[in-house]
Structure 1
Amino acid sequence: MTDGHASAASTRHIIQTPSAVETLAARPFLNEPDTGIDDALGQIPTHSLPNLTEIFGLPDFEWAARRHLDSASYAWYRNAAGGEWSYRNNLEVFGRINMKPRVLVDITNIKDSLPTTILGYNFSAPFFISPCAKASYANPNDAEDGLVKGAAAGDILYIIAAAKPKSSQVLFQQLYVTNNLTSTQAVMRRAEKAGYKALILTVEAPASGDRQRAHRFGWQLYKQLQNMTSIPIIPKGITSVEDARMALQAGAPAIFLSNHGGRQLDTSPSSLEAAIEIYQQAPEIFNQVEVYADGGVRYAVGMGRPFMYANMYGSRGVKQAIDIMKNEMALDAANLGVADLRKINASYMRWENNGWYS
């Protein structure tokens, strides 16, 4: 989310207490909201995909994936770290912030305000497809191509994990740092040559020695990487105001709030909580750089799992997921009384007298 498209994430800090964690763990977790699809399509044989015309919301894609994919493939997308508290929190944290609707607002042109820019590139909506690996698990034939082509058809950004652009389509590439900087630089040069417009440096996952090197050299490593490439590098995995400040001091053109979908450190804060902390303690950051976010998002900003499930249908499914998102975003904004998405801000949120907040 950019400053012009600040969402519910730009409100204030949520304090999670041990008792709150215990309360969450003690009650059932609703991973898929009830959209009525099981009543309508539950008779479809296992491993069969329902017709795409029967998919009306993003949760429907996961329902279809849970029944269609083999257990190992579904588990790859669905799993999370430890007791999955962070994954649960990613999904549920949005429900703990109340909306503050406005009325008697002219919302007739709300859809016209959906287009946005990300790092100066034009897109048709203020949300994107977050990087996820193993696209072939959902679609062995199309794999990454389904996501690339679907993003192109819907004119949104895809932060790709592993594939090459086939046209002038704007794509960002995910980057993991290894202990071999020569190898990392080779990856960056290939990304430049292939036409990627930015690198998303994943700093929240310890894979490939990434975290150890980052701890040893701090943000000096980021500056070193910047000097190895001509395209922007965006750090992904910011979950605190301190790291957000350090990223800006290191010259990051944007920051990406994420806890890796709750798949790395259980009890790590959600991107919403991180955004609220930054908004409370350093609100100027939202005016200084673009701020992106994912993790538990099912109705705006960056999403990973829902699009991986949609890719079971190839580019058609990805495009339909994009269309669903655009329609829901416009409807929700209209009901909230937002006339222009580019002007949404924290005044549309209400948090007084709520025990979760401070």
Structure 2
Amino acid sequence: MTKLQRIASISDLRERARKRLPRSVFDFIDDGAGAGHTRRANQQDFEKYTLLPRVGVDVSKRDLSQRILGVSSSMPLILAPTGLSGLYYPKGEILTAKAAHQTGIPFCLSTNSVASMETISDAVPSSEKWFQLYFLKDKGLMSSMLTRAKENGYRVLCITLDVPIQGKRDQDIRNGFTIPLKLNPSTLIEVLARPNWTWNFLKDALIRKQKISFGNFEGHLKISKYKTNAQLIAELCDASADWDTIREVIEEWSGPVVIKGILDPEDAKLAIQAGAHAIVVSNHGGRQLDQVPSSISALPKIAEAVAGHAEIILDSGVTRGTDIAIALSLGASACMIGRSCLWGLATDGQTGILKAIEILRQELDTSMALLGVTELHQLKGRACLNLS
């Protein structure tokens, strides 16, 4: 029996990841901003919805495929942009892109990836690749990233708007989490207690002949001392970006654009006016500002405001196939997963990610059969708030 054969759920992968990673690294993935209210609500608010089954329907053949921004995906799922994936498992971004390609779903590369966009493109040249962009203070560098992304086969630009600065993440402060990871007595104990991760990390660093780095900033950013992630964001990102700036970048890209980080219906309308082809309803996994709405609770009003003028993607809190079914019922056309993917990556690299995707695929397929639907569009309206 393989070590993943008894994994039944995404939460099982999370527990495996917790046991494999040093505590400060696991917490960097797992924890949210402030007291974590929004982080928890992202998952808990799915429990407020009830799905209504229909019976007496031929469900012997079910189709999970979905067109996302004009390209067919094997299921309504996108692997979200996640920074520093190469910290959790060697070649993390490459393995994530390969898993997405193998399963026929889109992969979105973070600006703050360890591997460069060119490295990913060389590994999976024909895959459906998106590039996520933060607004940078260095406008020349930002423009060059757009050019490089186009030249390397990234079809969709995903502009993240909810990180003008980094939110306050209490656990990272308590853990003293820095980039690269600073070894003090407590973190040294963590690292020594996780020999598999430590050996793989050191071996990868020796191969690359450097500590953790940001591949897309090669030649533009040198981490010469330990920095917190908040310090790096403050150094790199432009907090002055507004809708005029956003519109300029969309025009420069001249291809499909997704705006990520929308919670207010008015912002959804502004994104469409600026030229966005899709919006991502997201609170950054509850990692930016605590006490904001969960993504699933914000979705219905945004879907009403958008009214078919753009595709809607739901991000933050998706850990079950039923979560995907609920999101599609409430107006989304697809979902993004960040932590669910990273827990699989941290557990067993590409094999772990494939396991996470397969769990969600099987759960969504089962949900469709038991709801009495054979195609994704038939999920529309099947979820309702449980008011009891």
TM-score (normalised: structure 1): 0.78
Match of 1:195 among 150, 153, 168: 153
3-state DSSP class of the match of 2:252?
Answer: coil
Residue 85 of structure 2 is matched in structure 1 by 135
3-state DSSP class of the match of 2:239?
Answer: helix
- Deviation of residue 286 (structure 1)? 4.2
Match of 2:30 among 73, 78, 83: 78
Residue 352 of structure 2 is matched in structure 1 by 317
Match of 1:288 among 309, 314, 328: 309
Match of 2:72 among 119, 122, 126: 122
Distance 1:123 1:72 in 2: 35
- Deviation of residue 353 (structure 1)? 4.1
Write the deviation string for residues 102-143 of structure 1: whole angstroms up to 9, x where unpaired: 221221112xx2111111112111111111112123212x32
Q: Percent identity among equivalent residues?
A: 30
Residue 100 of structure 2 is matched in structure 1 by 151
Residue 250 of structure 2 is matched in structure 1 by 226
8 Å CA contact 1:200–1:236 kept in 2: the answer is yes
Is 1:212–2:235 an aligned residue pair?
no
8 Å CA contact 2:130–2:158 kept in 1: the answer is yes
- Deviation of residue 182 (structure 1)? 2.1
8 Å CA contact 2:263–2:302 kept in 1: the answer is no
Amino acid at match of 1:91: Q
Unaligned runs of 5+ in 1: 1-49
Residue 20 of structure 1 is matched in structure 2 by none
Distance 1:352 1:314 in 2: 38
Unaligned runs of 5+ in 2: 166-232, 325-334
Residue 44 of structure 2 is matched in structure 1 by 92
Residue 214 of structure 2 is matched in structure 1 by none
Match of 1:246 among 270, 277, 291: 270
Distance 2:379 2:238 in 1: 35
Distance 2:48 2:316 in 1: 15
- Deviation of residue 230 (structure 1)? 2.8
Write the deviation string for residues 140-175 of structure 1: whole angstroms up to 9, x where unpaired: 2x3211101111111111111234323111110110
* Runs of 4+ deviating beyond 4 Å: 208-211
Match of 2:140 among 147, 162, 182: 182
Is 1:336–2:294 an aligned residue pair?
no
8 Å CA contact 2:156–2:256 kept in 1: the answer is yes
Output the aligned Cα RMSD: 1.9
Is 1:349–2:383 an aligned residue pair?
yes
8 Å CA contact 1:150–1:314 kept in 2: the answer is no
Q: Which moved more, 1:324-333 or 1:220-229?
A: 220-229
Residue 295 of structure 2 is matched in structure 1 by 271
Cα 1:352/1:271, change in 2 over 3 Å: closer
3-state DSSP class of the match of 2:313?
Answer: strand
- Deviation of residue 339 (structure 1)? 2.7
Instruction: Count residues with an aligned counterpart.
Output: 296
Is 1:307–2:259 an aligned residue pair?
no
Distance 2:3 2:251 in 1: 49
- Deviation of residue 222 (structure 1)? 1.3
Amino acid at match of 1:236: K
8 Å CA contact 2:271–2:279 kept in 1: the answer is yes
Is 1:68–2:68 an aligned residue pair?
no
Distance 2:387 2:250 in 1: 45
8 Å CA contact 1:204–1:264 kept in 2: the answer is yes
TM-score (normalised: structure 2): 0.73
Distance 2:4 2:88 in 1: 15
Cα 1:328/1:352, change in 2 over 3 Å: closer
Cα 1:227/1:353, change in 2 over 3 Å: closer
- Deviation of residue 343 (structure 1)? 2.5
- Deviation of residue 212 (structure 1)? 2.7
Distance 2:307 2:349 in 1: 35
Q: Which runs of structure 2 are paired with 1:253-264 in the superposition (5 Å)?
A: 253-264=277-288
